[in-house]
Amino acid sequence: MTRCRICSGPVREFLDLGRQPRSDAFLPPGELDGEFFFRLAVGVCGDCAMVQLTEPVPAEAMFHREYPYRTSQSARMTEHFARTAHRLVDGVRDRPGAFVVEVGCNDGGILPALVRAGVRHLGVDPSGRAAEEAAGRGARVMTAFFDKASAAEIRSAEGPADLIFSANTVSHVPDLASVFAGADHLLTTGGRLVFEDPYLGDVLARTAFDQVIDEHVYFFTATSVREAARRFGFELVDVEPLDVHGGQLRFTVGRPGRHPVSGAVAGALRREERDVPELDAFAARVGRVRDELTALLRALRDDGRSVVGYGATAKSATVTNYCGIGPELLPFVCDSTPAKQGLVTPGTHIPVRPPDAFADPYPDFALLFAWNHAEEIMAKEHAFGAAGGRWIRYVPDVRVV
């Protein structure tokens, strides 16, 4: 039986997405041999309620110098992080020389806004190339995993931090205890760790099974984060729902008793008692989405209609590998990220092409893998719809729009 990575309690598996590759391991078309695969499955701890992958991939295999994801590819997310930076800065402004650390800053995150606001900061990210791009935007960065050792290094060079912010990173770290140990080492006594990640409640409500990827080791709830924080010497003091990336929760933790606990925490805990125990129903819906999506793509192919993918997301690795969608159903996927273009998707080997390939000529249908950026992408590609093109969605269910 699998043991919980937080509390060693018994983990009950409820969803098996089968043999999967590393979700961001795009490959050169001529170098397909020796690809790494693992079994992607999710379970829930019977003791602390943490939902987690049962067989996580080591962090070093996922987050390395060539990690291709770039936060800056979405204009809406860039705005979201600028807004977030301003709110965070308001919270620390009263302390002269306040110091803010962003964990998993990728190619910028909140750092460009901190640079503009003149706030002392440091970004920490193991993905060297992305971090260099953040430095190119004027930010101070360090290429490292955030843990006790790097936190100690930062503290001795810069002094303690008033605030640590992290987006889409804390849930990616298999050794969650190491993040809290780093925060404990680096934060001032009254300092806060604020992190935002996909929310299990939204994954379930939207049947967003493609949020399950190697990089998403944990699916947080207020219930599970409160318990994990407690075990690691912190207290959950606030939660805030965010309408980005398909539904997230922003968690604020501090040292026990140092901050008032907002009413939002109790509200979320109450809701989760009602909502979260539907893991098996969710797993049953996932199988239905797979059957409907593959049936639709096969019917369109047999009908001579053209279909391409939009957004070579990490999430799309789960969808294409779980559903058995390869180049015979989807001749290419377009994506704006230079580091992905010219490569093929992990496991299913669908070529990734730049966005201008989309209009050359427009396909009859586009399968929207980057559904969490739907508004931004559909606005950008309005000419596709105007030309008679239709979008295929599979979250929350399979539909053509």
The residues of the shown chain that bind Zn ion, judged by CB under 5 A, are 4, 6-7, 9, 45, 47-48, 50
Q: Which of 134, 228, 377, 395 binds ligand TYD (CB under 6 A)?
A: 377
Among 163, 233, 165, 226, which Cα is nearest to 192's? Answer: 163
Chain residue at closest Cβ approach to ligand TYD: 313
In the complex, least distance from residue 158 CB atom to ligand TYD, rounded to whole angstroms: 30
- 380 lies in the site for ligand TYD, by CB under 6 A: yes
Considering only 52, 73, 106, 150, the residue that binds ligand TYD (CB under 6 A) is: 73
Distance CA 279, CA 283 (A): 6
Pick from 72, 74, 221, 223: which binds ligand TYD (CB under 6 A)?
74
Nearer of residues 74 and 321 to ligand TYD, judged by Cβ = 74
Instruction: Tell me the two tokens of residue 245.
Output: 């990336």
Decide: is 370 part of the binding site for ligand TYD (CB under 6 A): yes
Task: Measure the CA–CA gap between 400 and 387, rounded to whole angstroms.
Answer: 15
Q: Give the strand order in the sheet containing 365-368.
A: 352-353, 333-334, 307-310, 365-368, 390-393, 399-400
Distance CA 151, CA 155 (A): 6
Tokens of 318: 């789960």
Stretch that binds ligand TYD, among 59-67, 93-101, 124-132, 308-316 (CB under 6 A): 308-316
β-pairing, 218-219 vs 187-198, is unpaired
> How many residues are recorded in the chain?
401
Query: For ligand TYD, which residue of 311, 346, 347, 363 counts as binding (CB under 6 A)?
Result: 311
| Shortest CB 23 distance to ligand TYD, Å | 7
CB of 11 to Zn ion, least distance (A): 7
- Taking CB under 6 A as the criterion, the residue among 72, 248, 337, 345 binding ligand TYD is 337
Q: Is the dihedral of CA 71, 61, 234, 98 positive or negative?
A: negative
Closer residue to Zn ion in complex, CB, 8/75? 8
Tokens of 175: 């050794």
Q: Which residues bind ligand TYD (CB under 6 A)?
A: 69, 73-74, 311-315, 335-337, 340, 355, 370, 372-373, 376-377, 380
